[in-house]
């Protein structure tokens, strides 16, 4: 039987990425051109700059992905691309590129939901993982507790009411002077801090036990810092980081394990940029072990935005018969 090759493109935020994926789970190449250094100058992602950088980099990134995989466009079976959610101008670059390639090379076009990609990142290094399972998607833009019923079939059972988990990390990092991107920096300095030093609030939503809220803990950190400044007291960056991280982790683990119990799944996965957080991984691993549930997580390179995960999701969509027309557009608030 002939292999199925997907060329995948991802440009929803600040990474320009392309990948070639073989038979759904084998990554032949995974090229990522990160704009982080550029956006660091502004303390966060500047959408206009992201779009401009994508258009500059995208052809090189795709060329490199094909070259490293040792394939040509002719060998490709379909072109997969993230068409939402994300920054509209950033998404448009990838979508226009994918459409142009698919049209010129006469290949089918498969649009992919960014979150479906994050979840699919778990398939790459876990050949045994198949739906159904529960997945917590925690990134800069999303905090979703998802029941993965089948390939391409999802049920969202919980979501954030306000800030995404990664967004809270980024905002708190900025407030305590760690800069952008905040998640990895908080992760690092927390190792020198005491997670029990300050008690920040853990939000529980009575009528929706799987939903999240992180604006309260973020405000509590800001109030704590302002309080210290007004009193002229020193504060410990490491203790704040560790205590904040612990508060967020407690809520993520608590809601996730509650869902594991309620839904009876024996498999639990995490995905998205925040899934590379070391404290979250450790706490989830322990909680899953206690419950006798198999715990899955991707390597950090497949947690943050990349095109390999989009290629994996595109493969399953392609096999399920998903095809998009030449009218495919970027959908910034695309629903799962």
Sign of the Cα pseudo-torsion (289, 184, 126, 256, in order): positive
Partner whose footprint covers residue 211, from Zn ion, ligand KG4, none (CB < 5 to 8 Å by kind): none
Which class for 20: exposed (0-12), middle (13-18), buried (19 or more C-beta within 10 A)? buried
CB of 327 to ligand KG4, least distance (A): 25
User: Nearer to ligand KG4 by C-beta: 152 or 273?
Assistant: 273
Q: Are strands 15-22 and 26-34 parallel, antiparallel or unpaired?
A: antiparallel
Q: Are strands 294-296 and 267-271 parallel, antiparallel or unpaired?
A: parallel
> The tokens 């994050």 sit on which residue?
118
Partner whose footprint covers residue 10, from Zn ion, ligand KG4, none (CB < 5 to 8 Å by kind): none
Partner whose footprint covers residue 183, from Zn ion, ligand KG4, none (CB < 5 to 8 Å by kind): ligand KG4
**Helix/strand/coil for 173:** helix
CB of 312 to Zn ion, least distance (A): 14
User: Nearer to ligand KG4 by C-beta: 268 or 302?
Assistant: 302
> Which residues would be at the binding site for ligand KG4 (CB under 6 A)?
13, 139-141, 166, 169-170, 181-184, 187, 272-274, 276-277, 304-305
**Could you tell me which residues are beta bridge partners of residue 8?**
19, 80
User: Nearer to Zn ion by C-beta: 221 or 309?
Assistant: 309
CB of 299 to Zn ion, least distance (A): 15
Partner whose footprint covers residue 277, from Zn ion, ligand KG4, none (CB < 5 to 8 Å by kind): ligand KG4
**Helix/strand/coil for 105:** helix
Kindly write down the DSSP assignment for every residue of 155-195, as one continuous string.
EEEEEBSSS-HHHHHHHHHHHTT--SSHHHHHHHHHTTS-T
CB of 140 to ligand KG4, least distance (A): 3
Partner whose footprint covers residue 255, from ligand KG4, Zn ion, none (CB < 5 to 8 Å by kind): none
**Distance (Å, whole) CA 17 – CA 163:** 26
Sign of the Cα pseudo-torsion (319, 123, 312, 277, in order): positive
Q: Which of 36, 42, 34, 43 is nearest to 179 (CA)?
A: 43
- Degrees, nearest 5: CA angle 166-233-249: 25
Say whether 277 counts as a known binding-site residue. Answer: yes
CB of 249 to ligand KG4, least distance (A): 10
CB of 169 to ligand KG4, least distance (A): 4
> The tokens 């990142």 sit on which residue?
121
User: Nearer to ligand KG4 by C-beta: 86 or 131?
Assistant: 86
Partner whose footprint covers residue 85, from Zn ion, ligand KG4, none (CB < 5 to 8 Å by kind): none
> The tokens 């504060």 sit on which residue?
235
**Distance (Å, whole) CA 163 – CA 167:** 6
User: Nearer to ligand KG4 by C-beta: 139 or 237?
Assistant: 139
> Which residues would be at the binding site for Zn ion (CB under 5 A)?
139, 305
Say whether 170 counts as a known binding-site residue. Answer: yes
CB of 75 to ligand KG4, least distance (A): 29
User: Nearer to ligand KG4 by C-beta: 111 or 141?
Assistant: 141
User: Nearer to ligand KG4 by C-beta: 213 or 304?
Assistant: 304
**Distance (Å, whole) CA 94 – CA 11:** 5
**Helix/strand/coil for 69:** helix
Binding site feature residues for Fe cation: 114, 118, 305
Binding site feature residues: 114, 118, 137-141, 170, 183, 187, 277, 305
Binding site feature residues for substrate: 137-141, 170, 183, 187, 277
């Amino acid at each position: 039987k002939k292999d199925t090759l997907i060329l995948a493109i991802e440009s929803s935020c600040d990474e320009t990425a392309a990948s070639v994926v073989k038979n759904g789970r084998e990554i032949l190449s995974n090229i990522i051109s990160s704009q982080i250094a550029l956006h660091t100058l502004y303390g966060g992602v500047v959408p206009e700059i992201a779009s401009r950088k994508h258009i500059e980099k995208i052809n090189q990134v795709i060329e490199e992905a094909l070259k490293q995989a040792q394939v040509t466009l002719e060998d490709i079976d379909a072109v997969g691309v993230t068409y939402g959610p994300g920054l509209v101008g950033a998404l448009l670059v990838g979508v226009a590129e994918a459409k142009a390639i698919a049209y010129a090379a006469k290949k089918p076009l498969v649009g992919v939901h960014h979150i479906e990609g994050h979840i699919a990142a778990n398939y790459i290094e876990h050949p045994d993982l198949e739906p159904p399972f529960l997945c917590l998607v925690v990134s800069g833009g999303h905090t979703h507790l998802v029941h993965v019923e089948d390939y391409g079939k999802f049920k969202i059972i919980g979501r954030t009411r306000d800030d995404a988990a990664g967004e809270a990390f980024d905002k708190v990092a900025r407030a305590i002077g760690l800069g952008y991107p905040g998640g990895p920096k908080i992760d690092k300095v927390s190792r020198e801090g005491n997670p029990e030093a300050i008690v920040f609030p853990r939000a529980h939503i009575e009528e929706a036990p799987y939903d999240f809220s992180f604006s309260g803990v973020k405000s509590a950190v800001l109030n704590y810092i302002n309080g210290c400044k007004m009193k002229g007291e020193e504060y410990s960056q490491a203790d704040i980081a560790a205590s904040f991280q612990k508060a967020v982790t407690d809520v993520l683990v608590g809601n996730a394990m509650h869902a594991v119990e309620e839904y009876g799944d024996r498999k639990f996965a995490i995905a998205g940029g925040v899934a590379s957080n070391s404290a979250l991984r450790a706490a989830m691993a322990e909680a899953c072990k206690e419950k006798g549930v198999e715990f899955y997580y991707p390597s950090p390179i497949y947690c943050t935005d990349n095109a390999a995960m989009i290629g994996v999701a595109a493969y399953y969509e392609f096999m399920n018969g998903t095809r998009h027309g030449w009218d495919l557009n970027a959908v910034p608030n695309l629903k799962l």
